[in-house]
Amino acid sequence: MSRFFSSNPCYTYAMSRISRASLIIAVFFGLDKILGLLRVVLFNRQFTPYERDVFFVSNNIPDLLSALISGGALGIALIPVLSETLERQGRHAAWELFSRIANLAFLVTGCIAALIILFAEPLVQHVIAPGFDDVDKWQLTASLMRLDLLAILIFSISGLVMAGLQANQHFLLPAMAPGLYNVGQIFGILVLGPRFGIYGLVYGVILGALLHLAIQIPGLVRHGFTWKASIALTHPRVQQVLRLMGPRLLTMLCLQSYFLARDRFASFFPEGAVSALNNGWFIQQVPETLIGTAIAIALLPSLAEYLVRGETARFQETVNHALRIMLALTLPVAVLLSVTIRPLVQFVFHFGAYETELVVWATRAFLLGLTGHTWLEVAVRSFYAQQDARTPLKAAFLQAVTYILLAFALSRLIGHTGLALADTLTFTGQALLLLFILNKRFPRVLQVQNTLIRLVPACISAWLISLALMNWLPLPNIFRAMAALGAGSLGALPWILPELRALIKL
C-alpha cells in the first residue's frame, strides 16, 4: 500500500465517521476508566484482601453468563445482522428483530440464573475456588454470586440495547453507560459498604446495572424503537442471529474459561494473589479499552456495511489502518507503563511492599500482551462483519486449551506472574492466528512493516528516557513516574506521527 490513506472522498467520509465514533467512545471510555480507577482504589481501601478475593471469585459465573448471552456472544452476533436488516428492510424490521432477540435473551438468562442460584455453593466449592480452605469463605462467595445474578438479568437487556444503538450508528449513550455502572459501584462502596460490608458493593453493582440500562432508553426512543412481544424462533433473521451466535457463544465460553481457570489456579496461592491478578488486569485494560475497544466497537457496523455493499477494498484498508494505529500506540505505552508501574501502584492503591510487588509483576506480564489484546478486538470483529463465527471459535478453543497448559506450567515456575504471562502468550497468539487467516482472504491487511520498523527506535527512545528519569530525577516517586511517562511519550512521538494522523482521519 503506497499511501496510508485513500483519496476516495466517499472512503474518507466513511473513515471520518469511524474516527468520530472512535473519539466519542474513547472519551467516554476514558471517563469510565477514571471512574473505574476510583472504584478500584476505594474498593482496595475499603475491603480486606479476604473480602476482595471473595468478591472477584463470586463474579466469575455471573460474568460468564453475561458474556455468553447479551454482553458478548449475542450482542456481537446481533450487530451485523441488524445492520444488514436496517440496510435492506428498514428500521421497523430491524427493531422487530431486536425485540425478538431481547425477549429470548431475557428468558434464557432468567432460566440459567435460577439454576445457578440453586447450585451456587457446590459450584464455588468444586469448580470456581477449590483452593479456598474456609467454609465461611465458600458460603460468602455463593451468597454474593446469587445477588450478582440480579445485575446480570438487567444486563441481558442492557447489553443488547448497546448493540442495537451501535447498529444504528449511535455511539454516545452506549459509551456513557459503563461510566454509570461504575457510579453505582462507587455508591455501593462509599455509602452502602460501611453499613452492609461487601454486600453493599454488590447492591451497588445492581444499582449500576439499572443505571447502565436507563441511560440508553432515550436512544431507543430517538431511533423509533417499538417493542414486540414475540420470540419467533423460526423467523429467518432470528435464525440467522442464532446461527451466528452459536459459534460466538462457544468462543465466549472459551474466553471466559480463561478467567475461571486463572482464578482457580490463583486460589491456591497465598491470600492476595487473586486480587493482584485482577488489579493487574484492570491496569492493562485501561490502555486496551481506550485504544483497542474504542476503535473496534466503532469499526464493526461500518465493516459490516462495507461487505453488504461489496466494498471489500474499503474493508481491507480500514482494518489495516486500525491495526497500524493500535500497534503504534500500544507498544510505547506498554514500555512506559512497565518502567513506571511500581510508583503508580504505590500511589494509587497504598498497598504494602508485598501486595505492591504482586500487582507490579502481574501488570508487567499483562502489558507484554497489550498489542495482542487490541489486535484481537479488531480481528474478531472483522470475522463477525463477514458473518463468519466459526474461525474465531476455532482460534478461541485453541487459546483456551493452550492457556490452561501454559498457566499450569508457568505458575509452578514463577507463581501468579506465570498466570499473567500465559495470558499474554495465548491471547497474542490467537490474534496473530486470526489475522494471518484474514490476510489470506484480504491481502495487505497485515502490511504493518513500515510501522513496525519505526517502532523500534520509538520504543528504545521511550524506554531510555523513562528509565533515566526514574533513576536520576530528584523528585518524589509519583512525580518521577509522571515526568517519565510524559518525557518518554515525547521521545516516541516523532516516530509514530503517521499513525496519529491516521487516527484523526480514521
Q: Which of 106-115, 239-248, 329-338, 472-481 has the lowest mean pLDDT?
A: 239-248
Whether the CB-CB separation of 231 and 100 falls below 8 Å is answered with: yes
Q: Where are the alpha helices (DSSP H) in 271-389?
A: 273-287, 294-308, 312-349, 353-367, 370-385
Mean of the pLDDT values across residues 369-381? 94
Q: Which three cell numbers stand for residue 156?
A: 441481558
CA distance 52 to 63: 16
For residue 229, pLDDT beyond 80: no
Judge whether 11 lies within some domain. Answer: no
Closest by CA to 77, choosing from 149, 210, 167, 146, is 167
Question: If we measure between CA atoms, which residue out of 203, 209, 177, 176 comes closest to residue 190?
Answer: 203
- Residue 194 and residue 221 in one domain: yes
| Same-domain check for residues 86 and 233 | yes
C-alpha grid cell, residue 165: 444503538
Same-domain status, 241 and 290: no
CA distance 365 to 359: 10
Let me know whether 78 and 140 are in one domain. yes
Instruction: Name the average pLDDT for the chain.
Output: 85
- The DSSP secondary-structure symbol of 395 reads H
Looking at 258, 279, 303, the residue that finishes a domain is 258
In a domain, 12, yes or no: no
Domain end, chosen from 225, 258, 291, is at 258
Q: Tell me whether residue 464 is in a domain.
A: yes
> For residue 19, what pLDDT band results from cuts at 50, 70 and 90?
low
Tell me the whole-structure pTM to 2 decimals.
Answer: 0.73
| 403 in the same domain as 499 | yes
Tell me, yes or no, whether 230 and 333 share the same domain: no
Q: Determine the pLDDT at residue 70.
A: 59
What region, left, alpha or beta, does residue 235 occupy, with left being phi > 0 and alpha being psi -120 to 50 degrees?
A: beta
Non-local (6+) Cβ contacts of 51 within 8 A are 197, 198
pLDDT in tens, 44-68: 888 888 888 888 888 878 877 777 7
Residues 138 and 192 in one domain: yes
Rounded CA-CA distance 69/91 in Å is 23
Q: Are residues 247 and 303 in the same domain?
A: no
Instruction: State the pLDDT confidence band at 506, using cuts at 50, 70 and 90.
Output: low
Q: Are residues 289 and 241 in the same domain?
A: no
Domain edge (last residue) among 203, 226, 258: 258
Q: How many domains does the chain have?
A: 2
Q: Are residues 394 and 482 in the same domain?
A: yes
Would you say 453 and 459 are in contact if contact means Cβ atoms under 8 Å apart? no
Question: What confidence tens digit (pLDDT) does each residue in 479-491 have?
Answer: 999 999 999 999 9
**Residue 71: per-residue pLDDT:** 58
Q: How many residues does the chain have?
A: 506
Residue 8 lies in a domain: no
**316-335: average pLDDT:** 93
Which residues have C-beta within 8 Å of that of residue 413, sequence separation ≥ 6? Answer: none
In a domain, 10, yes or no: no
Yes or no: say if 281 and 59 are a contact pair by the CB < 8 Å rule. no
Instruction: Please check whether residue 85 lies inside any domain of the structure.
Output: yes
Inter-CA distances, 215 with 212, 218, 280, 303, 432, Å: 6, 7, 30, 27, 37
Range of the structural domain that residue 315 is part of: 269-504
Residue 81 belongs to a domain: yes
Q: Are residues 134 and 170 located together in one domain of the fold? A: yes
315 and 197 inside one domain: no
Closest CA to 65 of 11, 21, 14, 109: 109
